[in-house]
C-alpha cells in the first residue's frame, strides 16, 4: 500500500458534508422553487425556436442602418451621456457623507449616532432597492419631461449604489492609522478624513467608475419614459416600425457603452497600479 504521508487511521474529510433532515428538505424546496420559477416566467424552448423567423425578419428589415438623422441622433446620444455623467457626479458627492454615517465603527457610540447610523443605512437601502425606472417616473411627474428628470433619477440610484460600497470600503480599511491618530488626540472627524477616507480612496474611485458605466446603460432606458436622451428616439423608431433607424440607435448606444466601459477599465487599471501594496 502506498505511503500517503498521513498518520495511520487519519482519513481525508468528505468532499461534501452529509446534510441533515431539515437541510435536505430545504434543498428540495429550493430546487422545486427554481423549477416553479422557470414555469412562472413562461420559459419555453418552443417559443424560442418559433421566434427565430421573426428575429430574422427584424434583422433583414433593420439592415443596413439608416444614416438620415445621424446629427440629431448624435445630439441625443450626447445628452444621454451628459445625463449619466452629471447624475453620477451628484450621486457620488451625496454618497460620501451618507456612507460615513452608515459605516460601522466610524461614529461615536451615542444614541444620536446610532439614530444617524440606522437612518443612513435605511435611506441607502431604500435608494438601492427602488429601480431607477421608478425614480424616473417619479421625477418626470415632479419636474416634468426632459433630461433633468433622468439626471435626478440617476443621482438617486447612484447614491444607493455608491453609498453601500463606500461604507463597506471604509469598514475594511486597516485600523492602525486611525487608532494612532485617535491615540494622539485627533478628533473623530479628523481621523475619518485624514486616515480612513484616503485609505479607501482607490475603492471610491473604482466604484464611481462602475457607477458611471451603470448610469450610462440606465440613461438609455430612462429615455423610454420621457426622461430625456436617446431612449425616446429608440421608442419612437420602434413604434413606427422604422427598424433601420432603430438599428442605427442600437449601434450608437453599443458604441457609447463600449467606450465608457473601456475608458473605465483603463482608469481602474491605472489606479490599481498606482496604489501601494
Give the per-residue pLDDT at 1.
47
* 90 cis-preceded (ω within 30 degrees of 0): no
Answer yes or no: is 46 within a domain.
Answer: no
Structure-model confidence comparison of residues 92 and 47, the more confident one: 92
Residue 54 carries which DSSP code? H
- Classify residue 196 as exposed, middle or buried by CB count within 10 Å of its CB (0-12, 13-18, 19+): buried
The pLDDT tens digits for 115-174 are 777 787 888 888 888 888 888 888 888 888 778 888 888 888 888 888 888 887 777 777
Give the per-residue pLDDT at 182.
65
208, three cell numbers: 464611481
195, three cell numbers: 486616515
Domain count, the chain: 1
Q: How far apart are CA 207 and CA 267, in angstroms?
A: 11
Answer yes or no: is 10 within a domain.
Answer: no
Answer yes or no: is 19 within a domain.
Answer: no
Q: What is the pTM of this model?
A: 0.74
CA-closest candidate to residue 73, choices 259, 210, 256, 212? 256
Structure-model confidence comparison of residues 57 and 190, the more confident one: 57
Answer yes or no: is 236 within a domain.
Answer: yes
Give the per-residue pLDDT at 187.
63
| Percent helix / strand / coil, the chain, rounded to 5 | 75, 0, 25
Answer yes or no: is 211 within a domain.
Answer: yes
The pLDDT tens digits for 154-170 are 888 888 888 888 887 77
Please, which pLDDT band fits residue 190 given cuts at 50, 70 and 90?
Answer: low
Answer yes or no: is 37 within a domain.
Answer: no
Answer yes or no: is 29 within a domain.
Answer: no
What average pLDDT is seen over the chain?
A: 77
CATH number for position 190: 1.10.3720.10
Please, which pLDDT band fits residue 277 given cuts at 50, 70 and 90?
Answer: very low
Answer yes or no: is 34 within a domain.
Answer: no
What's the domain range around 257? Answer: 70-274
Amino acid at each position: 500500500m502506498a505511503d500517503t504521508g498521513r498518520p495511520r487511521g487519519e482519513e481525508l474529510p468528505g468532499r461534501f458534508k452529509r446534510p441533515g433532515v431539515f437541510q435536505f428538505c430545504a434543498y428540495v424546496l429550493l430546487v422545486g422553487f427554481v423549477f416553479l420559477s422557470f414555469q412562472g416566467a413562461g420559459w419555453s424552448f418552443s417559443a424560442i425556436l418559433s421566434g427565430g423567423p421573426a428575429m430574422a425578419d427584424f434583422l433583414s428589415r433593420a439592415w443596413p442602418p439608416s444614416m438620415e438623422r445621424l446629427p440629431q441622433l448624435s445630439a441625443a446620444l450626447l445628452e444621454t451621456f451628459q445625463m449619466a455623467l452629471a447624475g453620477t457626479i451628484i450621486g457620488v458627492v451625496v454618497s460620501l457623507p451618507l456612507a460615513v454615517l452608515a459605516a460601522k465603527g466610524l461614529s461615536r457610540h451615542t444614541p444620536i449616532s446610532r439614530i444617524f447610523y440606522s437612518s443612513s443605512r435605511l435611506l441607502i437601502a431604500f435608494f438601492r432597492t427602488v429601480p431607477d425606472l421608478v425614480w424616473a417616473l417619479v421625477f418626470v411627474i415632479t419636474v416634468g419631461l426632459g433630461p433633468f428628470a433622468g439626471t435626478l433619477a440617476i443621482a438617486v440610484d447612484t447614491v444607493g449604489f455608491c453609498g453601500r460600497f463606500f461604507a463597506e470600503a471604509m469598514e475594511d480599511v486597516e485600523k492602525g492609522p486611525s487608532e494612532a491618530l485617535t491615540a494622539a488626540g485627533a478628533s473623530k472627524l479628523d481621523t475619518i478624513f485624514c486616515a480612513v477616507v484616503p485609505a479607501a480612496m482607490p475603492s471610491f474611485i473604482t466604484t464611481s467608475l462602475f457607477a458611471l458605466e451603470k448610469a450610462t446603460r440606465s440613461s438609455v432606458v430612462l429615455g423610454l419614459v420621457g426622461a430625456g436622451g436617446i431612449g425616446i428616439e429608440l421608442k419612437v423608431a420602434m413604434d413606427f416600425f422604422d427598424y433601420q433607424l432603430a438599428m442605427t440607435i442600437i449601434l450608437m448606444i453599443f458604441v457609447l457603452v463600449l467606450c465608457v466601459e473601456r475608458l473605465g477599465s483603463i482608469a481602474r487599471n491605472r489606479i490599481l497600479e498606482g496604489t501601494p501594496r
